């Protein structure tokens, strides 16, 4: 069995989802309540491989973490949410569980690998994966295929990665450098030393601020760990721009609304067959909840299909091009495709 540890993007959204799921006691309370709420198993998931025909089963564990806990410096509550959800998943006998969204970021930032015991559970970390290798693969493919759909010539384009020094961002940069030469790769993050190190590792790249990057980039990959998205209504980039927003919550709270700006949901895959689960319908994050799922969650599904019970993605900035290619092959094999534009999006396909 595979598992998904998820969280919602804000207190308001959490209250509304709780109401829809029939957890009225959760819906009426403020952040204080969510800080002490225990993890919940809120959905069961079934996915069938298009190649092998095998169906695998999983469980969605809601950690009850909310980004407001970090904004309000409720760090103890935030870390407890993640570690308790991991212990909960392990106790349920789940073989491989993805740490979705901020779960892996909190795990890394607060060195939660030092916590070995949670009450009567000794954490077996090999049962967990961040899912970030698959997310990096999907974003890399979205750059390649999305550019094609929007009529952007990658070889002559400037591609900016916002959050380049992060786990996913650095993986995307490595993969693009190896597989997709672009005219200029722009690296954006706040910590200058980490940016310089990444630039040396890649053998190139232009270090810029977000504003500078937006004024020149033809393609912008958003993978910054921002608790709240930016309002980019007044962005002033090239005439034709493709934004691929892989942030969770989204990095772009408000996208530019001018002609020539295309916005793609980043880090999302679409399965060729319906996925059996109710939650995506209720969360309402994706256009086609029956088929679409976050790439990090899909990584645990792929590992379950292959019975690879190992933390495929682990530790920060360890994602290699080889591992991205490997998970990419499994993704294709079992029927996942990176989300792309549809005819209904108004693009001449």
Q: 3-state DSSP call for residue 106? A: helix
Question: Which phi and psi (to 5°) does residue 68 adopt?
Answer: -60, -25
- Least distance between ligand NDP and beta carbon 304 (Å): 17
- Least distance between ligand NDP and beta carbon 284 (Å): 16
By the rule CB under 6 A, 187 interacts with ligand NDP = no
Is the separation of the CB atoms in 319 and 171 below 8 Å? yes
Is the bond into 249 cis (omega within 30 degrees of 0)? yes
By the rule CB under 6 A, 79 interacts with ligand NDP = no
By the rule CB under 6 A, 247 interacts with ligand NDP = yes
The strand ranges marked E within 8-132 are: 40-48, 55-62, 96-99, 117-118, 121-122, 128-129
Measured from the CB atom, the residue of 56 and 189 that comes closer to ligand NDP is 189
By the rule CB under 6 A, 337 interacts with ligand NDP = no
70-82 b/e (C-beta count within 10 Å ≥ 16 → b): beeebeebbbbbb
Q: Cα–Cα distance between 265 and 58 in angstroms, integer?
A: 24
By the rule CB under 6 A, 105 interacts with ligand NDP = yes
Measured from the CB atom, the residue of 267 and 328 that comes closer to ligand NDP is 267
Q: Which of 76, 91, 92, 190 binds ligand NDP (CB under 6 A)?
A: 190
Q: 3-state DSSP call for residue 150? A: helix
- Range in contact with ligand NDP (rule: CB under 6 A) among 21-29, 152-160, 275-283, 293-301: 293-301
Q: Which of 18, 35, 89, 168 binds ligand NDP (CB under 6 A)?
A: 168
- Range in contact with ligand NDP (rule: CB under 6 A) among 30-38, 62-70, 185-193, 302-310: 185-193
- Range in contact with ligand NDP (rule: CB under 6 A) among 56-64, 187-195, 237-245, 277-285: 187-195
- Least distance between ligand NDP and beta carbon 188 (Å): 6
By the rule CB under 6 A, 60 interacts with ligand NDP = no
By the rule CB under 6 A, 224 interacts with ligand NDP = yes
CA dist 135 to 16, 79, 328, Å?
27, 23, 10
**CA 29: distance to chain centroid?**
28
Contact map string, positions 134 to 153, toward ligand NDP, x by CB under 6 A: -x------------------
CA dist 17 to 125, 149, 213, Å?
30, 34, 36
The strand ranges marked E within 261-345 are: 261-265, 268-271, 292-294, 336-338
Give residues in contact with ligand NDP (CB under 6 A): 101-102, 104-105, 131-132, 135, 162-169, 188-191, 194, 210, 223-226, 246-248, 267, 294-296, 316
């Amino acid at each position: 069995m595979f598992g998904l540890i998820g969280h919602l993007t804000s207190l308001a959204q959490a209250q509304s989802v709780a109401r829809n799921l029939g957890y009225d006691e959760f819906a009426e309370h403020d952040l204080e309540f969510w800080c002490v709420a225990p993890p919940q198993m809120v959905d069961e998931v079934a996915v069938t491989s298009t190649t092998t025909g095998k169906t695998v089963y999983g469980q969605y564990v809601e950690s009850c973490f909310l980004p407001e806990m970090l904004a309000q410096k409720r760090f103890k509550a935030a870390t407890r949410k993640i570690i308790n959800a991991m212990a909960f998943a392990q106790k349920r006998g789940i073989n491989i569980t993805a740490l979705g969204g901020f779960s892996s970021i909190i795990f890394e930032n607060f060195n939660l690998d030092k916590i070995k015991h949670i009450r009567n559970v000794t954490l077996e970390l090999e049962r967990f994966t961040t899912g970030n290798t698959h997310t990096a693969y999907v974003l890399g493919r979205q750059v390649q295929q999305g550019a094609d759909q929007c009529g952007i010539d990658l070889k002559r384009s400037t591609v900016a990665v916002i959050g380049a020094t992060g786990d996913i961002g650095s993986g995307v940069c490595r993969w693009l450098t190896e597989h997709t030469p672009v005219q200029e790769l722009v690296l954006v993050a706040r910590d200058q030393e980490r940016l310089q190190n990444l630039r040396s590792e890649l053998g190139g790249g232009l270090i810029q601020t977000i504003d500078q990057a937006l004024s020149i980039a033809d393609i912008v990959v958003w993978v910054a760990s921002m608790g709240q998205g930016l309002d980019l209504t007044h962005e002033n980039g090239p005439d034709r721009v493709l934004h691929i927003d892989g942030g969770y919550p989204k990095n772009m709270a408000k996208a530019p609304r001018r002609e020539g700006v295309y916005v793609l949901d980043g880090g999302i895959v679409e399965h060729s067959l319906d996925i059996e689960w109710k939650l995506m319908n209720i969360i309402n994050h994706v256009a086609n909840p029956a088929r679409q799922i976050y790439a990090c969650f899909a990584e645990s599904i792929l590992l379950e299909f292959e019975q690879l019970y190992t933390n495929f993605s682990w530790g920060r900035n360890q994602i290699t091009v080889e591992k991205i290619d490997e998970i990419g092959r499994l993704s294709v094999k079992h029927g996942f495709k990176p989300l792309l534009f549809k005819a209904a999006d108004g693009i001449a396909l």
